[in-house]
Amino acid sequence: MKSWKLSTRIVSGILMVVMLGMLLLSTAVGGFTRYEVTERLDNSLQEVSERLQTIVADRVRNQTSVSVAWLPEVGPRTLAYQVLDDAGHVVLRSQNAPTTPFVQDGKVGFVNVAQFRVYVAAPSADHYHVLVGEPTFHRQEAVRRAIMISIVPMLLFMPVIWLLVRLIVHRALRPMDRLHDEMRARGSGNLRPILSLNLPDELLPIQRSVNTLMERLETALSTERAFAASAAHELRNPLGALMAQVQMLGRMLPAGSELEERVELIASRTRRLARTVEKLLQLSRASSGIAFRRDRFDLLAVIHVLVDDLSCNVYGDVHIILKTNEISKIFVYRDMDATGILIRNLLENALLHRHAATPVIVTVLPDGCIDITNDCVALPPETLARLTNPFVRGAHAVHGSGLGLAIASNIAKQMDATLSLCSPLAGTTRGFGVSIRFPDLEIQNEEQGD
């Protein structure tokens, strides 16, 4: 779906309405201006005709031939006039008037002829008709200038209107932006209610609904965390007791007894069940939002502790190589317990699926990215794509739970970290690698630490 912004739609909608209104207003103003200018010019033309009729009456009374009145500085915008007798002959005209009458009939009023707007005055007592014509292009030019003077300022004011509308809309939407920022800050370890933001009445129901949702979510997560902790306690104790009883039973059997193999099988299955229960509890904790909390801690210190613990206590026959690239500390703002579960699952996955007697290599890159690689048969692309799903195993010969990478992927998503898998390793045809990259790192080298 195409994204859109509310402010853009409001601004564009208002501007469309304003532009349409100004277009209609400009059309109305243009029509009204044209009507007013035409009316004023017609009145002036009529007034000139009536005054001219009085002036020329004495001149044409004793005139026997056509006379042309030569005026100084006559231009294309100068009025032209004709004086006609009862027979319709021109007895007097201005130098810029045509030799033939403007109109043939002597009907009083305004007439449009070629290149002139003519007014025919009422005949005088001597039965002379005075016709005064105004050049059409001069009238059109006057109308056009009047319309331009009325409309152009409105058109030039359009950018100012656009800026004002944009400014007003953005200022009106600032409370929504503040609410958006507060809502965006929620969910990633911050489930606190939104404090008062002095919002308008239209946005207050949204704030109340978000606060209600945050409270319900916090309650649900707290309930799930409490359930996971209680379940872990209730399940670990019986399994621990069962393992202790099986070990005591094995010690009570005589050496070389045929039941010793069965006791060892029970012990092996019990340990496997305990590991599966542990992974399921970790998956439940990860799904309930264990990684939402944000605290500052040293990621490299957590990795050192986990590498030492797995090397010495769990997989004593395996050598884990840690390469820090002279980095002494990596500070992140995440949940330390969840990070420990994430890294431990990645290390256990590498130890479980490694080729026998080959080390697991943990590399801290200069940019803070953590690479964990082990030697194994390369995985098919379709298997690699599903490996972060629960109960998906890369090698069925290995008795794993199929939950380690699913737990790691779930926690990484909650931490906004990037978890990527690759197989085979770059430049080889074997191996499996996991890269975990945390955002907002603070890296200190050994020289800086000293």
Q: What pLDDT is attached to residue 41? A: 82
- Give the pairing of strands 320-323 and 295-298: unpaired
Tell me the DSSP string of 429-448: SEEEEEEEE-SS-EEEEHHH
Q: What pLDDT is attached to residue 432? A: 92
| CA 291 – CA 337 distance, rounded (Å) | 8
Q: What pLDDT is attached to residue 303? A: 93
Q: Which of 94-103, 104-113, 397-406, 413-422 has the lowest mean pLDDT?
A: 397-406
Same domain? For 272 and 361 the reply is: no
Q: Is the CB of residue 342 less than 8 Å from the CB of residue 406?
A: no
Same domain? For 231 and 87 the reply is: no
- Domain that residue 85 falls in: 6-158
Of 288, 315, 332, the residue that ends a domain is 288
Same domain? For 64 and 145 the reply is: yes
From residue 182, alpha-carbon distances to 49, 157, 370, 417 in Å are 78, 38, 32, 22
Question: Is residue 56 predicted with pLDDT exceeding 80?
Answer: no
Same domain? For 437 and 300 the reply is: yes
- Helix (H) or strand (E) segment spanning residue 422: strand 418-422
Reported as a single tens digit per residue, the pLDDT across 304-353 is 999 888 887 654 566 788 998 888 899 998 888 889 889 998 998 888 88
Question: Is residue 52 predicted with pLDDT exceeding 70?
Answer: yes
Same domain? For 37 and 143 the reply is: yes
Total number of domains in the chain: 3
Percent of the chain at pLDDT exceeding 90: 9
Per-residue confidence at 203, pLDDT binned at 50, 70, 90? confident
Same domain? For 110 and 16 the reply is: yes
Same domain? For 299 and 438 the reply is: yes
Q: How many C-alpha atoms does 91 have within 13 Å on its Cβ side? A: 21
| CA 316 – CA 319 distance, rounded (Å) | 8
Same domain? For 65 and 148 the reply is: yes
Reported as a single tens digit per residue, the pLDDT across 221-260 is 777 767 766 776 777 778 778 888 888 888 887 777 778 7
Same domain? For 35 and 96 the reply is: yes
| CA 220 – CA 147 distance, rounded (Å) | 70
Terminal C-alpha separation, the chain = 53
Reported as a single tens digit per residue, the pLDDT across 4-20 is 778 888 888 888 888 88
* Greater model confidence, 189 or 401: 401
Mean pLDDT of 97-111: 81
- Average pLDDT in the chain: 81
User: Residue 152 falls within a domain, yes or no?
Assistant: yes
Residue 288: Cβ within 10 Å count: 18
Q: Which of 111-115, 162-166, 187-191, 227-231 has the lowest mean pLDDT?
A: 187-191
C-alpha Rg value of the chain to the nearest Å: 48
Of 262, 288, 314, the residue that ends a domain is 288
Which backbone phi and psi does 384 adopt, to 5 degrees? Answer: -65, -35
Q: Is the CB of residue 128 less than 8 Å from the CB of residue 57?
A: yes
Same domain? For 251 and 299 the reply is: no
Of 269, 288, 307, the residue that ends a domain is 288
Q: What pLDDT is attached to residue 319? A: 79
| CA 143 – CA 135 distance, rounded (Å) | 13
